[in-house]
Chain A
């Protein structure tokens, strides 16, 4: 019997886990629902006795009660409560919380195993993309003709806002959720994240945050876009309150997740895993996490001030009582611009690692690439006001902000150099993950170059608020970061699932996505050049042709993602069993079985070289028939 079997089939006592035994996703929903009801009754009849059922106060309290109730029902507070009363969880309780002996049920529980959390994150991210993508299809269908009546203008505004924010939430966690949880601890040689319970907490907080933003669609929606600019958002329907509760909950999640990522990397590395030997994906993840720690409090401040303006009548942003919309815009973009790089950097870093593995070469300019991550993070903090060029705020500062924004092209240019330098003269093995790296390079160069136009004040005066901006940031966040994340998905899918991803279906998805992506967003660039504003439900016939092209492209793009989803599900259920190292990669996660056992390493690894020693101990061309490694062992053995 292997030691893995010993661990994962450990028989726990009948009381192991305590209350955890009876808690799962369903109890979370039931408890959250009951809490909502209690919150609604209290708010409706006590706090604001003259309010209607859907006043700002009632909605806010009800949604906050849902979050607290759901988290209590799933078991997030058990350990805290037991700590408070001095009755700490014992060894068996912790093993139960880590999912021992629970099989598939652990995926529906407050499980502390980082691999379970990573998998839960992946499913959550794909669900969010499905919802956000469906809303995008509604938007594009509305825009297929100039005066379409598919949805009302009010509903259109709400759909635009919710699409934007769901996609932002999904993209923020699309790499840091699945891969920084599943892969990063293994890459640094750790048995789990530094704080397993905080890890589960971060996941379930996002789950708790989703229903309020979806409910907001049915209580008037949010009509001020994903940025929820004040003072318009101060006057929005009660859906805005639910939206703010979602953001505040999400901020807590991202903050604890970021702290966990950084602490794991800095304190839990295996012997010999110096900072200079970390895979570049780990560097990207910790820079992104650090930037998130700076940015997220601003999101909390902006949304909580907005909420108090709406619920208790403060006047942060309402000029009629001494507030200022510019205050909101400043605080929002102090969060908003760094957040772009919170999203982007891990995806880029993953693409770099994929490029290295499939070109059988070390990451070119490893240290310069890391420097570019830090440089980008610093610049990201300095450039928030370039989103406000046309607002009239501090016009004398436009030049410095234009300059610092244009400086961003230097670290982002370095990203290209690193990836292209890695590919240059490599023994390139073009498997499915590499397809996505190529697409990343193509898309991100377009997203990057169009960003330079927008950083330029005179050009921004024309383009600001039109579809050119929409196309630009979709090329950057979807075409760049999300395609990088897709490369990571295809690369690490065998490690996560223990199955090989079906490349035939995956490549079909790739080509459909790659082609229709260009059609969609070139259509939007055209709309932008013609001067079509963003966020409008009806438009002049002059813009019709470009909108038809963008809409047809969007349908195709959606189809491409559906095909990829099918490939994932099909492969997870029926795919070929994956060997431990199907790509002959060098980093630590490829030294253990696919999927990895609980606690990852049954023997503690000692690292003696960097993760990119290609060519030193192998022929440049990978072997055709890799040998599956045994659990916890190194394929290379001692060096």
Chain B
């Protein structure tokens, strides 16, 4: 390999300043971090696709009629003599009710609102708005995401089934758990943006961190909505 040398105009030990980005132009820095976020989203897309695969696979197989069927639990309390077989050896199952779409979509809508507010904050920051504009928007975004997270956790308390009641219940609650993980992640990011914005760290053209966070938040909101539609309309 033939090389010639170009003396750097930079301080020679500057790479590690600002987390390894000191030498980069803002464009190069954006490009790197853009790529990072898009690849994270790509990996998360594969994960989401596998959840969807699990949903439809188990639904289609409907093993022992227990996609939405829960096994009978023998109850011998108070003199009740309940049998859990049909007399010729087959287990008795009962169909469990589906989860209320109100809660499912409330979580999704709040996530969308949070991502939307973050997007709006990004637009404002790109237009040179001061911290007085971006900070309340990011604060509201954090609250919306927090609301979505709390509602998602609340939904665990009001489900008409438990994890052990068939495959539908299993995948449904797994999706809820996945939502909690994702919402927790973007809540931490949104809270960080809010604090940083309040310190003026997103003024003067420094909007790209909001932009990157918005990209991931939009993806999270989209995936939660997609899964909400799936569990509601294809159950």
Q: Are B43 and A603 in contact (CB under 8 A)?
A: no
Partner of B58, one of A86, A91, A327, A606: A327
Q: Once bound together, how far apart are the Cα atoms of A97 and B13, in whole Å?
A: 13
Q: Are B1 and A613 in contact (CB under 8 A)?
A: yes
Partner of B170, one of A197, A198, A314, A638: A314
Q: Once bound together, how far apart are the Cα atoms of A277 and B1, in whole Å?
A: 9
Q: Are B18 and A308 in contact (CB under 8 A)?
A: no
Show 25 A/B contacts (Cβ-Cβ < 8 Å), sorted by A: A10-B13, A86-B195, A94-B20, A192-B16, A195-B19, A197-B20, A258-B39, A259-B35, A259-B39, A262-B39, A267-B35, A293-B39, A308-B163, A313-B162, A314-B164, A319-B64, A320-B64, A321-B71, A324-B58, A324-B63, A588-B3, A591-B1, A599-B13, A604-B6, A613-B1
Interface residues of B in 18-32 (CB under 8 A from A): 18-20, 23, 28, 31-32
Q: Are A191 and B23 in contact (CB under 8 A)?
A: yes
- A112 interface residue (CB < 8 Å to B): yes
- A549 interface residue (CB < 8 Å to B): no
Partner of A84, one of B7, B57, B63, B188: B188
- A236 interface residue (CB < 8 Å to B): no
Q: Once bound together, how far apart are the Cα atoms of A546 and B97, in whole Å?
A: 59
> Taking A7-B12, A312-B163, A321-B167 as contacts, is the C-beta distance between A608 and B71 under 8 angstroms?
no
Q: Once bound together, how far apart are the Cα atoms of A90 and B1, in whole Å?
A: 37
Q: Are B166 and A322 in contact (CB under 8 A)?
A: yes
Q: Are A322 and B64 in contact (CB under 8 A)?
A: yes
Interface residues of A in 65-79 (CB under 8 A from B): 79
> Taking A271-B6, A322-B58, A606-B3 as contacts, is the C-beta distance between A194 and B16 under 8 angstroms?
no
| Most B Cβ at <10 Å: residue of A7, A112, A301, A606 | A301
Residues of A within 8 A of B223 (CB): none
> Which of the segments B45-53, B74-82, B122-130 contacts the partner chain?
B45-53
- A266 interface residue (CB < 8 Å to B): yes
> Which of the segments A23-31, A453-461, A629-637 contacts the partner chain?
A629-637
Q: Once bound together, how far apart are the Cα atoms of A300 and B174, in whole Å?
A: 13
- B66 interface residue (CB < 8 Å to A): yes
- B94 interface residue (CB < 8 Å to A): no
- B106 interface residue (CB < 8 Å to A): no
Chain B: minimal CB distance from A143 (Å): 37
- B102 interface residue (CB < 8 Å to A): no
Q: Are A196 and B57 in contact (CB under 8 A)?
A: no
Q: Are A298 and B50 in contact (CB under 8 A)?
A: yes
Which B residues form the contact surface with A (CB < 8 A)? 1-8, 12-20, 23, 28, 31-32, 35-36, 39-40, 42-44, 46-47, 50-51, 53-54, 57-58, 61-64, 66-67, 69, 71, 162-171, 173-174, 177, 188, 191-192, 195-196, 198-199, 201
4 smallest A-B Cβ distances: which pairs? A322-B66, A314-B170, A322-B167, A639-B2
Q: Are B6 and A605 in contact (CB under 8 A)?
A: yes
Residues of B within 8 A of A271 (CB): 6
Interface residues of A in 578-618 (CB under 8 A from B): 586-588, 591, 598-599, 602-613, 617
Q: Once bound together, how far apart are the Cα atoms of A195 and B62, in whole Å?
A: 46
**Contacts A324-B57, A602-B8, A605-B5 supplied; 18 other A-B pairs, CB < 8 Å:** A86-B199, A197-B20, A301-B47, A305-B54, A305-B174, A314-B163, A315-B170, A316-B58, A321-B167, A322-B166, A331-B54, A599-B16, A602-B12, A603-B8, A606-B6, A632-B5, A633-B5, A639-B3
Residues of B within 8 A of A611 (CB): 1
Residues of A within 8 A of B3 (CB): 272, 588, 591, 605-608, 634, 636, 638-639
- A83 interface residue (CB < 8 Å to B): yes
Q: Interface size on A (CB < 8 Å)?
A: 91
Q: Once bound together, how far apart are the Cα atoms of A267 and B62, in whole Å?
A: 48
Q: Are A603 and B2 in contact (CB under 8 A)?
A: no
> Taking A84-B188, A314-B163, A334-B50 as contacts, is the C-beta distance between A267 and B43 under 8 angstroms?
no
Q: Are B44 and A297 in contact (CB under 8 A)?
A: yes
Interface of B is mostly: helix
Nearest-neighbor residue (CB-CB) of B191 within chain A: A84
Q: Once bound together, how far apart are the Cα atoms of A95 and B61, in whole Å?
A: 57
- A155 interface residue (CB < 8 Å to B): no
- A423 interface residue (CB < 8 Å to B): no
- A473 interface residue (CB < 8 Å to B): no
As a 0/1 sequence over residues 255 to 270 of chain A, the CB contacts with chain B under 8 angstroms (1 = contact) are 1001100110011100
Q: Are A3 and B12 in contact (CB under 8 A)?
A: yes
Q: Once bound together, how far apart are the Cα atoms of A12 and B42, in whole Å?
A: 40
Partner of B46, one of A267, A294, A598, A638: A294
Residues of B within 8 A of A588 (CB): 1, 3
Q: Once bound together, how far apart are the Cα atoms of A606 and B5, in whole Å?
A: 6
Partner of A323, one of B12, B16, B58: B58
> Taking A98-B16, A610-B1, A632-B5 as contacts, is the C-beta distance between A323 and B199 under 8 angstroms?
no
Which A residues form the contact surface with B (CB < 8 A)? 3, 6-7, 10, 79, 83-86, 88-91, 94-95, 97-98, 100, 112, 191-198, 255, 258-259, 262-263, 266-268, 271-272, 277, 293-294, 296-298, 300-301, 304-305, 308-309, 312-316, 319-324, 326-327, 330-331, 334, 586-588, 591, 598-599, 602-613, 617, 632-634, 636-639
> Taking A98-B16, A196-B19, A259-B39 as contacts, is the C-beta distance between A607 and B2 under 8 angstroms?
yes
Chain B: minimal CB distance from A622 (Å): 16
Nearest-neighbor residue (CB-CB) of A605 within chain B: B3
Residues of B within 8 A of A297 (CB): 43-44, 46-47, 50
> Taking A320-B71, A587-B1, A599-B12 as contacts, is the C-beta distance between A197 and B188 under 8 angstroms?
no
Q: Are B69 and A599 in contact (CB under 8 A)?
A: no
Q: Once bound together, how far apart are the Cα atoms of A593 and B215, in whole Å?
A: 42
Q: Are A598 and B13 in contact (CB under 8 A)?
A: yes
Residues of B within 8 A of A98 (CB): 16
Nearest-neighbor residue (CB-CB) of B209 within chain A: A83
Chain A: minimal CB distance from B67 (Å): 6
Q: Are A259 and B16 in contact (CB under 8 A)?
A: no
Chain B: minimal CB distance from A335 (Å): 9
Residues of A within 8 A of B164 (CB): 313-315, 321
| Most B Cβ at <10 Å: residue of A83, A255, A258, A266 | A83
Q: Once bound together, how far apart are the Cα atoms of A608 and B198, in whole Å?
A: 48
Q: Once bound together, how far apart are the Cα atoms of A89 and B165, in whole Å?
A: 50
Q: Are B43 and A255 in contact (CB under 8 A)?
A: yes
Q: Are B171 and A603 in contact (CB under 8 A)?
A: no
Residues of A within 8 A of B58 (CB): 316, 322-324, 327
Residues of B within 8 A of A95 (CB): 13, 16-17
Q: Are A259 and B201 in contact (CB under 8 A)?
A: no
Q: Are A79 and B19 in contact (CB under 8 A)?
A: yes
Partner of A609, one of B2, B5, B40, B42: B2
Q: Are A604 and B7 in contact (CB under 8 A)?
A: yes
Residues of B within 8 A of A296 (CB): 43
Q: Once bound together, how far apart are the Cα atoms of A636 and B3, in whole Å?
A: 8
Chain A: minimal CB distance from B197 (Å): 9
Nearest-neighbor residue (CB-CB) of A331 within chain B: B50
Partner of B201, one of A86, A334, A613: A86
> Taking A98-B16, A312-B163, A323-B63 as contacts, is the C-beta distance between A606 and B4 under 8 angstroms?
yes
Residues of A within 8 A of B173 (CB): 308, 312, 314
Residues of B within 8 A of A638 (CB): 2-5
Residues of A within 8 A of B169 (CB): 314
Nearest-neighbor residue (CB-CB) of B62 within chain A: A322
Q: Once bound together, how far apart are the Cα atoms of A128 and B18, in whole Å?
A: 34
Residues of A within 8 A of B62 (CB): 322
| Most B Cβ at <10 Å: residue of A3, A100, A312 | A312
